Amino acid sequence: MAGDRGSGALQRLRDRVIDAGQCTNCGACAGTCPYLRPLGNRIVSLHACTLETGHCTVACPQLAAGPERDDAIPVSPLDRVLTAHCAKAVDPEDRTGAQNGGVVTALLAFGLMSGRLDGVLAVGGSPSAPTYGIARSPAEIRAMAGSKFSVFPTLAETHRIPDLSRLAIVVLPCQAEALRGLTTRRSTKPLVIGLKCNGALDSRVLQQRLRSHRAAAAPIRLDRGSSPGSFEIRRADGDMTPMDRFDGTAMTMPACAGCSDLLAEASDLMVGHDDADASGNVVLTWTRPGQAFWDAAVTAGRVKPRPLTELGLARLRREAHAKRQRAARHSTGPRHLDADNGSALWADVPG
């Protein structure tokens, strides 16, 4: 019933996370009961539930956060990384639709082609009408290429999949964190491909903006702009003239202000844009399975890597540290986003 909050676990989730602007839209809480529904840009509570304990509060990564967690964060996450490279996709078909090097597409296409994976759970569709689902062929994963710059509640889908071991999931850092918790309670684990993230855009606001350009006959694409935090909308047919520019600041989700994880530290393998080379990616591996998968893809010639330079590592290190500092400033006091904090998220990293 509208306004009827019920009691217990769901109410706590609503009070402390969803209605408090702390929800990152990861989708971990949803997909196991009729009460929570993932909806594109957010999680919606539809009815009142009276259970005192439930999956939703256990799964939510924002409720797992606490002082003990902060202590567990190493000062520099890069100390823990197994491998660090710059890379590009080799096959041009893997680069179509990608904003940078097309490495995510190349890796996942490789996984499907080589039979290591049966499916990939990712977000596809056009930037103005994103959808998520499971791709089962290289063609399908290539059709999903391109960053949507937002979080979608794909984790809700994992509850319906009995065997995760032959699945890859493309996620943002908050989702990688949630997945780590979810899979400790499962007997199988997926391959988690994390994306570097300095703050996600509210997908509904973004789509409204993108749809306002539907007067353009051709499909459109969304890219990072030249200044930090800016974005550009172009026609997807190759015409490089921007149709629209906007500042991502005002569109960033409030929950991102308290997030300290730039590099998807809970994933098996992270891919991000390379500040030094817009046509390439940065790739880190965090776990043995992640490293094994990366090595196999390299060996198969699907990606062309070169080691990340000291300079490149230093940039990453500073960027990660800056995000941690911003998060620490937000961990006390009310968590909300205002213009100042927003711009800080996108500030150019010195050096």
Partner 1 sequence: MIARAGIAAGARFISGYPGSPSSEILDHAQRYADAATIQVEWAVNEMVALQTAAAASHAGMRAIVAMKHNGLAVCLDFLESLAYTGIGAGLLLISCDDTQGTMSGTKGDARPYARLGKLPCIEPCSHDQIADAMTTGFALSERCHIPIIIRSTTALSHGSAPAPAHMHYPQSADPPAFDPTDRVLDFPPMVPSLRTDLAGRLRQAAASFDDAALNTVEGSPDAELLVVGVGTGSLYAREAITALGDAGIRLVALATVWPLPRKLLEAAIGQARSILVVEDAEPFVEAAIKEIVADLPDPIHPRVRGRDSGDLPGPDSSLCGILDRQQVIDAIRSVLTETTGGSVVPEPGAPNAALQSLVLPRAPALCAGCPHRSSLLSVQAAIAMVGEDAFVVGDIGCYGLGAGPSGYNVINVLHNMGASVGVALGFASLRPLGFRQRVLALVGDSTILHAGLPALVQAAANRAPLLVVVLDNGVTAMTGLQPNPATDGAVRIEAICTGMGIETITLDPLDVHRTALCLAECMWRDEPMVAVLRSPCALLPTAIDPIPFAVDHDRCIGSGCGCDRFCARVLGCPANLFDEAIDRAYIDTALCNGCGLCAEFCPTGAIAEMRA
Site residues (CB under 8 A) for partner 1?
1-2, 4, 32-35, 37, 39, 42, 44-51, 54-55, 204
**Contacts (Cβ under 8 Å, ≥6 apart) of 2:** none
Quick one: which of 167, 204, 190 has its CA closest to 42? 204
Q: How far is the CB of 118 from partner 1 (least distance, A)?
A: 23
Q: How far is the CB of 148 from partner 1 (least distance, A)?
A: 18
Provide DSSP, 69-136: HHHHS-S-GGGG-SEEEEEEESSHHHHTT-SS--HHHHHHHHHHHTTS-SEEEEEEEETTEEEEEEE-
Q: How far is the CB of 178 from partner 1 (least distance, A)?
A: 18
Number of helical (H) and strand (E) elements in the chain, helices listed first: 13, 13
Quick one: which of 266, 256, 101 has its CA closest to 171? 266
Q: How far is the CB of 59 from partner 1 (least distance, A)?
A: 12
**How many angstroms separate the CA atoms of 249 and 151, rounded?**
16
**How many angstroms separate the CA atoms of 220 and 128, rounded?**
8
Q: How far is the CB of 336 from partner 1 (least distance, A)?
A: 17
> With respect to partner 1, which residue has the nearer C-beta, 15 or 348?
15
Q: How far is the CB of 134 from partner 1 (least distance, A)?
A: 18
Q: Which residue has the tokens 């402390």?
A: 16
The answer to whether 321 and 76 are in contact (CB under 8 A) is: yes
Q: How far is the CB of 184 from partner 1 (least distance, A)?
A: 18
> With respect to partner 1, which residue has the nearer C-beta, 46 or 311?
46
**Contacts (Cβ under 8 Å, ≥6 apart) of 312:** 84, 86, 274, 276, 282
Handedness of CA 148, 150, 153, 287 (dihedral sign): positive
The answer to whether 246 and 160 are in contact (CB under 8 A) is: no
**How many angstroms separate the CA atoms of 171 and 205, rounded?**
20
Structure tokens at 45: 């509570």
> With respect to partner 1, which residue has the nearer C-beta, 47 or 306?
47
Q: How far is the CB of 46 from partner 1 (least distance, A)?
A: 5
